[in-house]
Amino acid sequence: MINTLIEMFSYTFIVRAVVVGLLVSLCASLLGVSLVLKRYSMIGDGLSHVGFSTLAIASALELGDTPLTVSVPVVVLAAFLLLRISENSKIKGDAALALISAGSLAIGVSVISLTTGMNTDVCNYLFGSILAMSNDDVTFSVILAAVVLTMFVLFYNKIFAVTFDENFAKATGVRTGIYNMLIAFLTAITIVLGMRVMGTLLISSLIIFPALTSMRICKKFKTVTICSAVVSVVCFFTGVMLSYNYVMPTGASVVIVNIAAFLLFWALRIIPLAKLKTALLRQRIKQL
Amino acid sequence: MALITCQGVSFAYEGNTAVEELNFEVQNGDYLCIVGENGSGKSTLIKGILRLKSPSAGTVLMGEGLKSAEIGYLPQQTAAQKDFPASAYEVVLSGRLSSRGILPFYSRKDKAVANENIELLGIEPIRTRCYRELSGGQQQRVLLARALCATKRLLLLDEPVAGLDPLVTHELYRLIRKINRETGITVIMVSHDVASAVKYASHILHLKTKQAFFGRTGSYLNSGVGKAFLGGELSD
């Protein structure tokens, strides 16, 4: 076990991917609690697809060496747009997400097939690759993750209020629009950072799974948030080890570990109840 | 000057008038019940008073230095809230948010106010319980405590007893009257339940997409509108 760990971390590309991945899973799990409760679970999926198409277009136009600097602003813009659409227009949130998500995936795939052709690069974009991170990417990711975490802690109480009851918050003079935009902004950054390790198709799981898992057991917003952060980080690390040991794609292994964690937490909630029921049944049988 | 004054106020959704020509005043310490059928514009008016919706004509004036951040609001519950993982205390404390401004964390005073209101509404035993596991009546008390955390002046309640059983409904009405009498907080309540409205409220505003009646409860009972509406209830 320890030998495997030492061997694993002797590769710098794995260290880079793990550093970025841990930060991203931490940010995603914190934001995920709010997004899942606001019924915005699929926002991660939509935004990552937008990220995919901007990466494709950026590489087709040969816009610089660091695709992150191109895709962050575009995805942030898409996040604001999504928020606007779902608030104001007649197309409802989930339908708007589906439109943007499928549309940008189609554009991305078309651009790639017209320029470089469908190759392993595309596969890496879609399902994630541990080799994707350069040193510059890591620096950029660490800075952005620090921003996301600080903002989340500073605005924790506001995010709670806006998530629990937007109408009440608005009525008592809290500027909910700004905090909704803040959540969208932080989510967009997190998605772009995590996209290349986790893959376009799988990044949304980092937002959804830890939140749902911790909601099986925890009953306070604060504990849900903290538990979700811990679950997410542990699952990511275990997933990377799994992926290293069995030579599986990183994103997929992380999701599989997350599924296991979800089932475990779910079982933990069910089992005490089951015990209680059998105990009651036994008592009744005795009485009979 | 009155706490709230409506002068020739109308509200419209995309050009379609929801309610029009409202003229009434709410004084400090009043207990106003807004009654009327579905679609008569009750909830729209509440949104207007809260400044969530601006009137298409006329003005809603706030007197005596009342700011919109000083209104306590008890909205109708949303589906998302029913399974929300938060403790009762967390929910109550979030009512203090508007007084925080841009400061990130709650002060000791905010926590003290939250605890006072928890005591006032008798929800001490459930303060650490999870909101989604509470009964309908307990949830409403928690939300009422949160609304009280946001205000010392005006409480707006949007159908607070919807979906509650008769006993709990009765308790909640008495609690609201107690708050109105003992703390002097002005109460504006939207209700379907006319019988209880005339029992507890000091003033009645009856909407029928127009203002059908506004005045003291006593004169409402003797008015044509009031008799018809109450009579209709009784003969059902």
Does position A80 have pLDDT exceeding 80, yes or no? yes
CA distance B49 to B124: 32
Domain extents in chain B? 1-66+153-167+180-236, 77-152
Which of A165, A212, A269, A273 has the highest number of chain B CBs within 10 A, making it the mutation to test binding with B? A165
B146, closest residue in chain A (CA to CA): A168
pLDDT of residue B236: 43
pLDDT tens per residue across span A171-218 = 887 888 888 888 888 899 888 888 888 888 888 899 999 999 999 988
Would the pLDDT of A254 be above 90? yes
**pLDDT one-digit tens code per residue, A19-49:** 989 999 999 999 999 999 988 888 888 999 9
pLDDT of residue B225: 78
Q: Would an 8 Å CB–CB cutoff place B130 in contact with chain A?
A: yes
Q: A205 and A258 in contact (C-beta within 8 Å)?
A: yes
Q: What is the mean pLDDT of residues A260-274?
A: 86
In this predicted model, which residue has the larger pLDDT, A199 or A60? Answer: A199
Regarding an ipTM greater than 0.90, the answer is no
For chain A, the domains span 2-203
A219-233 pLDDT per residue, tens? 899 999 999 999 999
Contacts of A173 in chain B (CB under 8 A): 67-69, 98
B150 to chain A: which residues are within 8 Å by CB? Answer: 172
State the pLDDT at residue A272: 72
- Domain B1-66+153-167+180-236 CATH (choose: 3.40.50.720, 3.40.309.10, 2.40.240.10, 3.40.50.300): 3.40.50.300
Q: pLDDT tens-digit profile of A119-176?
A: 666 777 788 777 777 788 788 888 888 998 998 999 999 899 889 988 888 888 788 8
Q: Which CATH class is domain A2-203?
A: mainly alpha
pLDDT at A110 over 80: yes
Q: Per residue of chain B (236 residues), what is the pLDDT tens digit?
A: 788 888 888 888 887 888 888 888 888 888 999 988 887 888 888 888 888 888 888 888 887 777 767 788 888 887 778 778 999 999 999 988 877 777 888 888 889 989 988 988 888 888 889 998 888 888 988 999 999 898 888 899 988 888 888 888 888 898 899 888 888 899 999 988 888 888 888 888 888 888 888 888 888 888 877 777 777 554 44
Question: Are A168 and B73 an interchain contact pair (Cβ–Cβ within 8 Å)?
Answer: yes
Angle in degrees, 0-180, between the axes of helices A156-164 and A12-37, rounded to the nearest 10:
40
